[in-house]
Amino acid sequence: MQFKIQNSKFKIFLAILFLSLSVFFVRDVSALQISPAKQAVVVKNGDVQIVPVTFINDDDKTMVLTPEVSAFTTHPETGSPVFDVFDEAKSWIRVVPQRLQLLPGQEGIFSFTVSVPESAEERSHYLGLFAKSAPAAGQVGVGSRLGSLLFLHVGFSAHEELAPLHFGSDTRFTSGSDIFLSLILENTGSIHVIPSGSINSVGNELAKINIDKQKVLPGAKIQETYQVKDISKLKIGKNNIHATVLYGLTGQELRTQASVWYVPLTLILSGLGGVLILLLLVFFIKRKRRS
């Protein structure tokens, strides 16, 4: 589904996004401060945008910094960021200067210039703008890096779409024991989404979807498992269990379903008892006739 995002609405959306993305902000250098910690830019095809990042040396020793750009995605199970993945947007960025030497208390700026090609696809890119630190001359230490999160959106349109890859139960039949439901969704759109929703059967809610509000980046998957302990919420017989997922700025809805048969153990025992009684009656009737 294609839709146009108004500039003001998109800015509000990005603001909300980055207030919640502090988990992605990497702080490996306690004595080095960064500003801003995260930022968003919308760049049209063929345009150029300069993204400055300020670094402040709060240590009592001189620091030597070099810039680095890294792309990231999220882990499909934990939702934590996985850096150093491939993204063509890394090649669009040039940085000046190539080296900063900061005395104690001094600050410096790396300017990351983003040049978006005319032919670039309208989609979102998730990048980390890092400064790698190394000991100054004559000093001994271990280098590390500190990063500012950049959410780069190319163009003003976005395609939001989630595809269900799997929804099912670990069993087709239960007599009262817990059941486990699994759901896998893939983001086949061009911008991240935060799915939510619930899993229901015969009007009863069995579980909530994505309660941690995990963000699913383009091309990434989210996988969750739900334990259903209160089997009494199911009806006797075949149950159609529905997963209803809501996502996107326009509140799109995705539905998928699985089936589970529920026959209580007491009903099974009653049925077996009835069969046994019937067999005994038949046995005694035949025996009486023979006698």
Residues 75-125: tens digit of each pLDDT: 777 767 788 999 999 999 999 999 999 998 899 999 999 999 999 988 889
- Kindly indicate the confidence band of residue 266, based on its pLDDT and cuts at 50, 70 and 90: low
pLDDT at 109: 95
Write out the residue range of the structural domain in which residue 63 sits: 2-157
Of residues 69 and 157, which shows the higher confidence score?
69
Burial class from Cβ neighbours inside 10 Å (0-12, 13-18, 19+) for residue 190 reads buried
For residues 59 and 104, is the Cβ–Cβ distance under 8 A? yes
In this structure, are 143 and 43 located in the same domain? yes
Q: Are residue 93 and residue 133 in the same domain, yes or no? A: yes
C-alpha to C-alpha distance for 2 and 136, rounded to whole angstroms? 51
Q: Left (φ > 0), alpha (ψ -120 to 50) or beta: where does 105 sit?
A: left
**Is the confidence at residue 3, as pLDDT, over 70?**
no
**Claim to verify: residue 139 and residue 225 sit in the same structural domain:** no
Answer yes or no: is 284 within a domain: no
What pLDDT sits at residue 30? Answer: 53
Token duo for residue 246? 């809501």
**Which pLDDT band holds residue 176 (cuts at 50, 70, 90)?**
confident
Range 281-288 average pLDDT = 74
Residue 287 within any structural domain of the chain: no
Looking at the structure of the chain, the number of domains it has is 2
pLDDT in tens, 36-78: 888 878 899 999 999 999 998 888 889 999 999 999 887 777 7
Q: What is the CATH number of the domain that holds 113?
A: 2.60.40.10
pLDDT over 90 percentage in the chain = 39
Q: Which of 22-36, 70-84, 267-281 has the highest mean pLDDT?
A: 70-84
Considering the domain architecture, whether residues 211 and 91 belong to the same structural domain is answered as no
Q: Is residue 207 part of a domain?
A: yes
Helical residues (DSSP H) of the chain, grouped into ranges: 7-19, 265-290
Cα gap 72→80, rounded to integer Å: 10
Q: Do 188 and 149 belong together in one domain?
A: no
- Give yes or no: residues 83 and 213 share one domain: no
DSSP 3-state of 232: helix
Domain identity same for 13 and 136: yes
Residues 6+ apart with CB under 8 A from 126: 71, 72, 73, 87, 149, 150, 151, 152, 192, 217
Assign 2 a pLDDT band (cuts: 50, 70, 90): very low
Return the pLDDT at 177.
76
Based on the fold, state whether residues 105 and 238 are members of the same structural domain: no
- Stronger pLDDT, 231 or 165, i.e. the higher one: 165
Distance CA 73, CA 87 (A): 10
Rounded CA-CA distance 47/115 in Å is 6
As a whole number of angstroms, the distance between CA 21 and CA 19 comes to: 6
Return the closest-CA partner of residue 145 out of 157, 128, 159: 128
Whether 206 has a pLDDT exceeding 60, the answer reads yes
Average pLDDT for 198-208: 90
In sequence order, the β-bridge partners of residue 57 are 32
Does any domain span residue 26?
Answer: yes
CB 130 within 8 A of CB 119: no
Do residue 178 and residue 234 come from a single domain?
A: yes
Would residue 272 count as lying in a domain? no
Whether residue 23 contacts residue 43, with contact meaning beta carbons closer than 8 Å, is answered with: no
Question: What does the alpha-carbon distance between residue 128 and residue 201 come to, in Å, rounded to a whole number?
Answer: 43
pLDDT at 14: 45
CA distance 245 to 163: 10
Phi first, then psi: what are they for 11, rounded to 5°?
-65, -40
Q: Name the range with the highest mean pLDDT among 35-49, 137-151, 226-240.
A: 35-49
